[in-house]
Structure 1
Amino acid sequence: MPTTVDKIRRALEKRDGIAEEEMRPLADSFKVEVQAVNQRLDEAVMLLRKGLRSEAIQRVEMTPNTLEKAAELEFPEWDEWNEILQFLAIPLPPKLNVDYVAQINEAIIDSLPLEALLRRHRRLAIAKAPLSVRLRTLRQIARVDPANSVWGDDVETWEKIRLQQIDSELRQALEREDSRQLYLLNEELTSDQWRVKPSSRLIEQSQFAAEAHVRQNMERELGLIAPQLAEAFENRDEATARSLRTQWQASRSHYSIEVPASLQTQVMPTLRWLEDLDRQSMMESERSIAVDRLESCLDGNHSPEEIQDAYEQATRFGEPVPDALAARMQTLADEPVKRAKKKWTLIAAAAGLLVIVGAVTAYSLIASARQAKQRDDYVRQMEGFVSENRYDEALSFFESVRANAPEVTSLPKMVALHSQAQKAVESETKREERFETLLVQANSDDPALIDESLIPQLEELAKTDGERARIDDIRKRKQSYMDSQAVAQSDEMIEKIGEYWTTFGELQSRGNTNANRTALEQLRTSVIRLSNSYPLRSDAATTKQEQLRSSLTATIDQMKRTMQAERQLADALDSLSAARSLEQYADRLRELSTRTVADSDFIEFDTVIDEEDHWGNVDRTNEWLERLSQRLENGVTSGEATELVESAELLRNRVAPNPVFDAMPKFSDSMEEIRRRNSILSETFNVFQKHPLRELVTLPAEGQDFLITKTYAEDNADRMKRSGGLGVMVVSSSTGTVRNRGFDGPLDDIKNEPMASVNWLIAQQNARAIDFASLWEQTFLRLVVEVMTQRPDLDARVKEWMIFRLLDGATRGSERLAAAIPQTMAMLNRRADTFNRWYEPRPFNGKLPTEVESTIRAELGTAYPRFKAPLSDYSKVAASRLSWIGFLTKTEGNQISYHLRNELPEVDGSIFVAAPSRDNAVETSLNKIGELNQGHVQLTSNPVDLIGGRPLFLFPN
């Protein structure tokens, strides 16, 4: 089945001409189809602007497919068809919204599988494509895969590099005066794809140059067309002129800026000529249709009234109908006369028969009949002169008849004809006198004083070519004067309009105030009154006046709507800002959603009201911070660490991402570390409790210290005081095994070391339990120092072994401590073979090796102050809160802004919104949408989370 476009093309290809009756229904059908497609495109683009890309694509792909229908409605003969519709005075159908088609096509491309985009991304990288090209693909990837934040970070990084490139390219283009490059840079800078907002300096520089490029291109294109139009007008080449006019109109429509006056003046005669031809052609078409209708009426069975109406319509164009039709009309009009004449012919025949009979019977009447015939000849001649409007000859003939046959001139018919001729001559004399009088009144040496109102009367009175020539001379002189005046008035009016435009621009920049609106209304009145001051203005001046008046009216109306909307918005914002809690804020949102203020879209009520539960998760986050703060004040025990880890996990399952946990990236690890410390502490001190040193004492003999068990020493105390050779069981291995060794008695007194020091150290586990829980690192370090300084009778090797065991347990319970004393641990591990031979006899030495002592003192002295508050980083975070500082709004231009409840907070920080999570594993996401830095709020350009009405939460840095 042929489409509307197919029917239009067929109609355009017809050789027998194009009829209005055929084109008008096609234009109406095309209009309906374009409106339907444009409406579907509008709906899809609105969904796109709300971020609903899939829904938008689904909308256009519904049967009938909108993009296929749009492609069907685009055809190359559009301009030709529009010219024909204008020629036939048929209203032009609306244009297809190709911009929206492009947006939908781009959205479909954006929705392609991520793999295809990644392949393109890799190909561009391999080909070392320009950064601007690669950046477009990367932005598409970020849109298609929003869950992967890496793409967004890459886009921002590349955009910063690209902005630096643009800065350099802009300077080079300005130096080269490369207007095309400047135009392309402006198009890139003013794109809405940027995440890193370009500086206003770059935009202003490129925008000015881009406007110059557009104007330059327009003037170049129109400058080529204008002389061709003028030449076509001089040659009266209608076909070329029409084609060039189409190009002219297309260029004007493409650039949408004002055409220079010089070019407009150059083409105006041609355009007016074509308009006159269009009107003439239209009249010829209408006359042809009227003549066809007259012929149809004559051929058909129509009433005389219908035929007469058709004849009047066919002759109303000032031209006679074709001779054949005129003859048929005359025949139709003469039929009643012929029937009457036939009737009177029969009557005359009968009368003639009677005359013949009378003549036969009255021969005497012949003479009188001859005289009657002569009188009739005189009358007929007189009638001939009068009927042919030869009135002067009629009067001369009458006088000659009066001289030869005065009785004839007294006949009533002759008297009447003479009177008619005499009146006609007198009337012509009066007409000539009237014509001369009016001509004098209308004419003047000063063309400004020529009275054009008398010219129609003169034209009615004029009968000769000379009289018409005199009228035409007056008209031309007046027209020449009027044309010069029209040019002067038009120039002056256009100059005045230019001044008003300047005033208009100044008033526009002053904002929406009552005083400014009044000034604009006064300016509009002045613009309207220009028509009275310049009655001879040109169409161009009138067009400029109408453009300014329309702009003023639109601005005033918009200002009224804006001021009213601003009042409503101000009241709404004040009401929301005054809410004492988020619950009250939600209640007021619901109340505002039922008012007309909701129509301004400054808040997306339907979306935001449904998110109230997510704001409650912000309160839960603050409650958890309060609980953490309380735990940290008194030191976190293993049990408390367990509770904090479990509550943190529950909170993570509700809220992710969460700036609280982002500020404490290793919180769970730290708490797990604290949870493990009890077992590590037990393991560490179990080593001491189970070690043989706990039962060993020192036996000084032969200049060396030997280790024996406390029990053995007590059982053999008396024996070891005797003289002579003695056998003593001394420790001979690290496991505490003993062997018999001979000594000469008596032996010296037993020393309680190392048993005393080991038992003392074991007692510290319970004595310092709280310190181990809250200050793990410092407690262990203090024990190490006490072992080094407060156990003078303890052998250095045992001291070194005890220090190693203490620090080994301490570092297993604190990664931070392990990182703080790497040299000490490395050294002790190297010396393990030495101090692990603590059982070997040796002369007493309670002082640690210099290398060992200096290394330990150096690193422990540096580390100890750092662990005065080991969880201080967490304490700072715990002292912070997510504070509600305001909410997002939308400006009139659909741009996202913000509104604060009070003054800006004094602390800097990041700004978040609580939104439904796109990850089904959690309820809420606290998404970062900006920064507060030194009293300045900077929102990101990511539109996904920037929804009007969402509360803003500040988390301090």
Structure 2
Amino acid sequence: MPDHHEIVDQIRALLQAVDQTRTPALDALAAAYAQACGDVSRRLARCHRLLQQGLRSEAIQLADIAPRVLDAIADLDFPERADWDELVQMYGLPDAPRFPIEITSFLNEAYAQEDPIQDLLRTHRRLALARAPLRARIGVIRKLTAQDANNPIWQDDLRIFEKARFREIQVEAAEAARRHDAGSVGRLLAELEDQTWSEPPPVVLVQAIRKSDAHFRGQQNRAILADIEVSLNDAFSAHDPIRGRLARDRWRATIAAVKLSPKDAVHERVEPALRWLEDQDRRDEFNRDREDSIRDLVDLLDDPKSVAPAVLDRTANEILKHSDGMPASIQDRFVSRLTLERARQTRRRQWAAAAAAVAAVVVVSAVGAGIRSQSRARDSARAATALSDMLELGEHGQAVEFLERLTKADPSLFEYPGLANARALVQGAQEKEAQRQIQFDQAIRQVEQAPVTEADPTALETARGLARLSTEKTLLDQLLQRRGAAHREDRDRRERELAPRLSALSANIEVIRLKLEKAKSDGQEASASLKELVQTQAELRGLGTEIDHVGDEQQKAFRVLSLKLDAMRAEQEGRKQRRRLEEQMTSAVAYSADDEPRDLDAYTELIQKYIKNYPDSPRSRAMAKVEPERAIWQTITKENRLLASWQVPESTATSEQLSARAAACKTFLAENPNDPSALRLTEYQAHLEAMARRDLRVDNPRNRLKQLFSDILIDSVWVVKVKNPPSRPKSYFLTKQPSEDSNLLRYISGFDGRERAKPIVKANIIYSSVSPQTKIGVRYKAIFSRAAMIPDWDKVMFDLLTEIRKDAEMDPILKLTLLKKVTEYAMQGSVPLQAALAPLKAVMEQSDVDLNVPWMDPESVDAGRLRLTAERVVESMPDSLEMLREARVQEHRIEQIITLTYRSVGWLAQEDSTWGLRSGSVLPNEGELWVAVPEGSPRTAWKKLGKINSGKVSVAPESLDVRAEGRPVFVTVNAVPKV
């Protein structure tokens, strides 16, 4: 059809021409102009209805479809329009409708309102086409709601999107919980609590995510404890007390924060390291005491004042308690100072002795010579002072001896209070000294009786504190030397006895390790080796009491063997748990004998658990690479659920059910762009939409076919054929049966149904009957008026096309016109027909037959010239049987979309460089194996892996690029549609 510019240019040229007589070209031009104006007016009216409904964006989108409405109005509403309307009315040609100017003003106003939000609309469309996450799209819709407040659609869309986002958050939170992803749970909780929602989020959802967030914070504390546990044990193994104490401080602080139960097993795992640190603390404290004692001795040595030798001895003994003894530099100074102080003490003793002698002489002289009593009092005082000095200097023996001489020489001196008190002090000191000696003897005996394995008996410290006399100190030193020698001899003996036992255990452990590495994890050899491992571990624990009495080297060897056995035992237990977990994974994706596909959510959770529990294993690292594909597996599960939910077959479904099903496909594809079956599901969506289109709308293909066969040139039309020598007979189309009494024939001469009268000789009439198009129309209008004709649409359309094509009586131009329109409507209602009738449509589109010529006018020269061409076009059309077979092939292929399901059958695993399928005990007898492989976000495709033949699985060699451990494998099964 000519475009608007061409039509208007032809009209202007005609109006400017001198000859404006009516011709077929004028009729065609009027019809074309009327149709163009009608099309634009109808589209403008639809835009107006959309604007009245508040759908401004949709109205502008409809108006912008080429040709744009406003541009078309500007082209068609040309200045000479009034002259053209007058010419059309004069000849009775179709009138072109006038354009309502008020609607165009509304449309212009809509454009003005739409411009400020164009950027947001473009962003909204781009995100929709890219199937962007709902979170991003919601943000744009919120801005559109704020800027375009008069449009209620945005608020409705926002509520729909937010509800969908709540469902997404629920799914994402569940996935994050399965992955133990505390960060994702926290972000989702923040999104729910921080965003401004049009409607509050579901309370249950918020509470559930809050609970998960609190749970994961507790797990994080557990993970921190696990890290600290590793640090503690590493420091213990490396004998690094500095790192150990730092880890211990963190441990205590975390334990206090977590409020962990004292019975928790984690305490037992770190107890050896904590005991070792306590031993280190005691040793360090002991060393600090030694340093403090050395510092005290240095302070005494640096003091210029006189220091009692006993004080020097006690300070030195505090240093000698420690195994390292006294430093050589300090020892020299100590000996020098001790010698000096003893010399001073000797001089004081000499002075005291002299004083005592003087006192004795004085006493004797006084007795013999009868000195006055005052002199005796002074002598008594001097004697008491001498006794006090002796006691102060620790010379208890000299004080006792001096007291005995005084008693024998002059007992009466003790009548004086001073000397009597001094005697009481000497007697008290004498009793204390006796008690000290008894205690020292007891402590020495206890030290001698203590086992030689006890390095520092408790009584040893008591004996050191009681030793005062040089003989006592010598006795104590000799005892310590004997005990040291005995301790070393006992330790050497124990080490000689223990060394071969440790070596034998070490060798046995190595043998067991090699056996466990070679044995299958679930075989009898592994079970027997595991029993040997338990026995060896019990034997090693039996050495625990002896290990405490050997040297550091053998103690270290004992700890290494213990750790090695614990590691081997833990590894075997881990293998058992890993095998059990792999069996659970297999069960989660195994093929089931019933018709229901597996839900892969359980498998997704198990594979995440496997990766978390065994992060360092090769299989776990391989699974970590495919674990991000879990969204694909979940999409496959959702698709299986969607297809299984359609209980009513297409053949009996209503248009509303088909439309809802197509909308569900569209929503599913929008929410799951990673579906590997997206292409076939998109095709199935188009198939459903086409089927629903047959009945759902007012302008559906069925109604348009009814309108087509209700046309004035088809409905209730008679045909009269009249001889026309020497040419072929002429056909006259009448609106009613011709009268037998009249020789005047009123026949249709134009598309608008106008009639002409022509006298006819009855003898020349060779045929008079209902027209062939009327016969076909009557039969098929009845079919199109049935309540339900959706299931047999393809058959009805093929039958109709075949009847039209094979009708020899129908005018060729009309036949071509009907074939073209019926083909168009038939393809609108069927995807199989779109493919099958494409060659037929191509033939008609490539023909040069002008279907606008008045074929109903037997006097039309153009129609007469084009009939032979139209006949040739019809004859060149593809074979109907071939097109029918193609339609059935396409229909069968589309049916397989709903009946063909991908059911999980196992997962890929690699054992010693050999790939295999971990499957359950039940397998289909025949089938093809597939895996879903990502091909760049968000595209995913099905890739063939192998097949099942007679119940045996074979992996194709060429499938190397799609193999990945942990990737689920599916088998295609043709299901029987549910009725």
Q: TM-score range by the shorter chain?
A: 0.3 to 0.5
* TM-score (normalised: structure 1): 0.41
Q: Name the TM-score, length of structure 2 as normaliser.
A: 0.40
